[in-house]
A = this chain, B = another copy of it.
Amino acid sequence: MYREKIKVLDCTIRDGGLINNHDFDHRFVRQVYKAISASGVDYMEIGYKNSKELFSPSEYGSWKFCDDEEIAKVIEGVESKTKISVMVDVDRVNLQDIKPADKSPVDMIRVASYVKDIDKAIYMVNHFADKGYETTINIMAISRDQGLELDEALKQIEKESRVNVVYIVDSFGSLYQENIEYLVKRFKKSLKTKEIGFHGHNHQQLAFGNTIEAIIHDANYLDGTVYGIGRAAGNCPLELLIGFLKNPKFDIRPILDLISYEFIPLREKIEWGYIIPYAIAGMMNVHPRAAMALRKSDKKENYREFYESLANAEID
């Protein structure tokens, strides 16, 4: 029943870090790592590798920078087959900071890129591949960038890069399953030697359904987060994805414990999930930043006004 090639990547700490300035304490991250390892999930993405010249460590937590020593602290002594991933944004990482893979606890580096920055992304993944890492390119905001440039970018990735996986990233949580089918097929047309990945956002409660749709059309790298944590409405809930996949290597129970003991209390402190302004942003195919600002204001439940402000705004 299951497809051997499917790999699941947990990005709880990385995408969840976008709602708390990447400031999870070491005990918490270690608990997540233990549960992810025990559940048999293939990868755990632990944060971003950002340059400390661009972002101050006094303003952000450890997982904005992911120093190898910090990672070593949380994984030390835990029995695990789970590989460690970090994400980098184009133009925000100092390549000299990245040690060769055999001297680092990191196994995979994922480059988040807009279509327009694909030349830089290709340069970066080839650099990381030279250093011995597995790599991905995660093409963000795909719901807005579907012109001719997308096919050119995909062909260029196929021809010029040694990347392993190219992700479709539904940054705005605006895609419906027809769009997923269309995009996976379009990606596969150009990317003959690469795997396809999917990273959903849950603004319209479609992250899990869209992930299933991506699986149906042969995407093999799938992102999820524990209890769906992540920016704005969050991501595909890892526990639902594990429940759907029939591969006996996965065990949902450590994830259930982690939710009971860590994520139920955490959700009392920070907000994510199905919240109407995020749903509206998803319907409108815009970045959730205006909705995130609304949720921090005293108009947080003024949905009609927010809807009309987006409907009347110039697109972008």
Contact A274 to B273, CB < 8 A, known contacts A243-B283, A304-B256: yes
Shortest Cβ distance from A234 into chain B, in angstroms?
10
Q: A213 on the interface (CB 8 Å rule)?
A: yes
**B213 lies within 8 A of A177 (CB):** yes
Please, what's the 1-or-0 string for A212-245, where 1 marks a CB less than 8 Å from any CB in chain B?
1100100000000001100000000101100110
Please, what's the 1-or-0 string for A254-297, where 1 marks a CB less than 8 Å from any CB in chain B?
00110110001000000001101001100100000000000000
**A177 lies within 8 A of B304 (CB):** no
Contacts of A302 in B (CB 8 A): 260
Contacts of A240 in B (CB 8 A): 204-205, 279, 283
> For the complex, what is the distance from the CA of A274 to the CA of B267, rounded to whole Å?
13
Q: A209 on the interface (CB 8 Å rule)?
A: yes
Q: Which of A205, A243, A280 has the most CB of B within 10 A?
A: A205
Q: Which range holds the interface residue count of chain A?
A: 35 or more
Q: A206 on the interface (CB 8 Å rule)?
A: yes
**B216 lies within 8 A of A256 (CB):** no
Q: A178 on the interface (CB 8 Å rule)?
A: yes
**B303 lies within 8 A of A276 (CB):** no
Contacts of A210 in B (CB 8 A): 209
**B216 lies within 8 A of A178 (CB):** yes
Q: A152 on the interface (CB 8 Å rule)?
A: no
Contacts of A227 in B (CB 8 A): 276
Q: A252 on the interface (CB 8 Å rule)?
A: yes
Q: A250 on the interface (CB 8 Å rule)?
A: no
Question: How many copies of the polypeptide does the oligomer hold?
Answer: 2
**B204 lies within 8 A of A205 (CB):** no
Q: A208 on the interface (CB 8 Å rule)?
A: yes
**A209 lies within 8 A of B205 (CB):** yes
**A279 lies within 8 A of B243 (CB):** yes
> For the complex, what is the distance from the CA of A260 to the CA of B304, rounded to whole Å?
8
> For the complex, what is the distance from the CA of A307 to the CA of B157, rounded to whole Å?
44
Contacts of A204 in B (CB 8 A): 208, 240, 243-244
In chain A, positions 187-219 with a C-beta closer than 8 Å to chain B are 202, 204-210, 212-213, 216
In-complex Cβ contact of A303 among B177, B216, B257, B283 (8 A): B257
- 16 example contacts (A-B, Cβ-Cβ < 8 A) are as follows A177-B177, A205-B208, A205-B209, A208-B209, A227-B276, A237-B274, A237-B279, A239-B279, A243-B283, A252-B307, A253-B307, A256-B280, A256-B304, A256-B307, A257-B304, A273-B274
Nearest 5 A-B pairs (CB), nearest first?
A209-B209, A256-B303, A243-B283, A256-B304, A260-B301
